[in-house]
Structures are given as structure tokens and as C-alpha cells.
Structure 1
Amino acid sequence: MAAQKKLQGVVAATVTPMTQDGEINLSVIGQYVDYLINEQGVKNVFVNGTTGEGLSLSVQERKQLAEEWVTKGKDKLDYVIIHVGAFSLPEAKGLAKHAAEIGADGIAVIAPSFFKQVKKDALVAFLRDVASEAPGIPFYYYHIPPLTGIKINAEELLNGMIEQIPTFKGVKFSDKDLLDFGQCVKKNDRGQFVLLYGVDEQLLGALAMGATGAVGSTYNYLGKANNSMLEAFANGDLSLAQKYQALALQRPKQS
């Protein structure tokens, strides 16, 4: 896996396949990898996140999924990012250490959110402690206040993460607050970290503001179209890029 390359472009937030009995179905992960690469042109994945219902799985299930994605993605995928966030600091640290040991290309951490009155410095300390268990691989902060209820702006956390987390490489920004996102872009004037936008329906607007890539669920089945949108945007063809963005805005037809 090409962990030396900067993470950019489209990243599929993977679903967790289950059997009829409610067990995780590891047997289809290899097919899943091939489908993403061959059918969608997607070579980066984000495992055990919101789309994969990571926080609803047991620690053992999360580890098994992480291992299977890393194993089946070896020499095929460019990046396998494992989300290791948890309400429990020891659990998050254990998942981070495990991800590093199995050869993941990076880890991501969501803010613990059972108690909402989290202070900025305390959140940075939590993220730092988790990241310290995987000192050899990139760390990404998973910012998703609509689900966590933690209203600290990502921009407010950047300085602390840059200063205290040596492996900090970027933010998965899953919020519609483009003002906050724009402030993050402003702090990234040297391109020292990546800004991966996580609201699929607004990706084109985020690209215009300075997003360097995207993580989302629709890239599982609209990866090819979104790769084309990124290419059209890079080539200055805004009209074509808008057409591709419109695919993510289509509502399913009522039967």
C-alpha cells in the first residue's frame, strides 16, 4: 500500500456487510475491494466509520473488519484508513494500536460524545492520547458535529492538533458549516495537511473552497462519477462538474 502518497481524491466510507444472523460477513470483503477498484475507480477506504456503524460494533468485530480490509486491500488499495474512535479512551487506544500493528495506512478518531460539554483542550488531549498508540501512521480528526453534538469548530482544534500530535495529517470534515471549513483552509495555506470533505451533496462547493479530497458513503456507488467531477473541476469545466454533482442530489423515485 502506498502510504507515502498524500491522501486525496475520493475515499469510500465502507458499509459493514452482515449475514442473515446479524454477524459481520467477512467473506465478501475481497469482492468489495475489487468492486470499488474495478467498477468505481476508488482505491481509498474509510473503515468502521459512521456508514460502517463502527460505534455499534463490538471491539472484536471492529478489529476483525480492520484486519480483513487491510489484508484484502494489500497491493490493491492505496489507503485503508481505520476509524478507531470510541466513547472509552482505553478502547480507542487499543483500536489505534491494533490498526498500526496490522498495517493500516492511517487512523481516524471521532470526538467522544456521550457527555456534550467537552472543552477544546480536553478533546485535543483525548485525540493526542489515542494517536500516540499509533506513532508510525497518519492521524486524521473525524469532525462530525451533527452526530456527536460537539460544537467545537474544527478550526479551533487545528492549532492544538498540529502542536501536540506529531502524526496529524488532516481532517475528515463532515459538516455543512462552510465558514468553519473555510477557516481550516486558510490555516492550510502551505498544504501541510489534507482537508477531506464529508458531505457528499456539497462536495463541489467544498472543492471551490479548497477541499483536497472527500470521504463519503455515496462513493461506494457513485465513485466513478465523483472522480469525473474532481477531474472536471481540476480542468476548470464547472458546467460538467455541476452535472456530476447533481447525481448525488437525486432523490429516489417513490414506488
Structure 2
Amino acid sequence: MTDGLTPAEENEVLYEVRDRVARITINRPHRRNAMSRNTVRLLTEAFVEAGEDPDVWAVVITGTGDKAFCAGGDMKEMDDIARAGRQVHTPMTGTYRALLEVMLETYKPVIAAVNGHAIAGGCEIVLASDVRIAVEGATIGLTEARRGMGANFGSVVLPRLVPRAVAMDLLYTARTIPVEEARDLGLINRVVPRETFTDAVEAYVQEIVANSPVSLRRYKEMATKSWGLPMPSALRLNAGPNPYTSEDRAEGVRAFLEKRAPQWKNR
């Protein structure tokens, strides 16, 4: 995706489109899939590409291996930057859009396949996804306070997803919790045994892309842009493609009446 990189750096993020699904994989198992600056750049580019590709109807993000989904930022790289007398990146600044903002503004279903521990920035990637399916035995948490960092995205989003007192407890203590507990809090949708994890994620994603991509895009854009708006304003927002005047709506109704599977046109 980016010029001037070594083969290893180019492969820090894998990108594949198959069966209407963009599959984005953080591929740094030797670093527990921790994100270097290059990894973040490649992830951002991958989500932009998926968002702009009309043949992509949903996105899955996961990590390589069975140890970690993503261990957050690459601490070794951060220390090297500090020792060189330079400043690490501050969220929402600089020439690149924030990865997590791009994820929110990818107006297609984004599913986090949490194949292992999701810590700090890895937890934030999970929070930026729409649906989260996790493997049994994984943990999740925003540990930034232990490292003197800010969890800029997590500190804003987590209190919107769970009760404020619960969110502040997790932020203040910087503790990690089992994904089973996260499921009970509403942060994780499903927890699946490792032996059936890949198949369960695939079956779920195929269930999504069997539906109209126009409707899927409408749901994502309306849900994102209406977040925090008063109800009357949200209902009148009318964001995203209009499914009511789409060819897909006409096809969906006709397919129902004819008792057959719809042939979506994505328009």
C-alpha cells in the first residue's frame, strides 16, 4: 500500500476482499500484533480502501495467531522515539486522520474478530468496531493509565457504551477483564470456543452480507451521525443512501413475494 517499505513492513497489515467482505489482519505476531506507526498507517489506508470499494459490503478486522488480537501501541518503538528526543504522536493531530475515526466513518458493518487479548489501543480498535466476536479466554482492557498515556478514543467512547461508573472504573484501575465479563457488560456480542471461532465469525459475516448493502450502509451512517443527537433531530437526519427509493428495495420486496433470494445491486 505504501512505497519505500521493506517486505516485512508491507505485510504488517494484510488485506483481502473475498465474498463481499474485506478482511483486514494485523500481522505482527512477534510483537503480539502491537501497532507501530507504520501499522497504524497501513490500517488506516486499508479501512479507507474498504470504505470506498463498492464490492465491499462488510469489513472484518482481526490479528494473526492465537495470542493477541492487538497489544496496543508498540512500546519499544515509543521508547526509541523518546530516547531520540522526539515526541510520540498525539491523537487527532498531524497529517493523517486518526485510525479509530476512520473506522467509525467506514459506513459499512465493521466486525472485530477478537482472536486473543485486546489491550490499550487494541481495545480501542474493538470499541471502534460495530460488532465484536471474541474467542474464549481472551481479555480486554484500557491499560493506558499504567503507562502514563491517555486512551483518547476509549475515554470518550467507553462511557457511551456502558454505564459511566463502570467505564470510569475500568479507565481508572487500568485493569483487564475476561471477554466473558465484557460480554455481560455489553461490550462483546459473542464469546466462542477457539476450535469454532473462525467458522463462527465467517457464518456471522455471511449472515450480514446476505442483506441489502444499501440498508447496511444506511444503518451504519445513521447510527454514527445521529449518536448524541436529540431524537427529533436524529430521526430527520436522513444520512447515507436512501433505501426507500433504491433498486434494492424494489428487488427485496419482489424477491419476498416470489419466494426467492434477492439479487442485490447495491444501488
| Category of TM-score, reference length = shorter chain | 0.3 to 0.5
Answer 1 or 2: higher relative contact order, Cα 8 Å, separation at least 6: 1
Query: Bigger radius of gyration, 1 or 2?
Result: 2
For normalisation by structure 2, the TM-score amounts to 0.34
For normalisation by structure 1, the TM-score amounts to 0.35
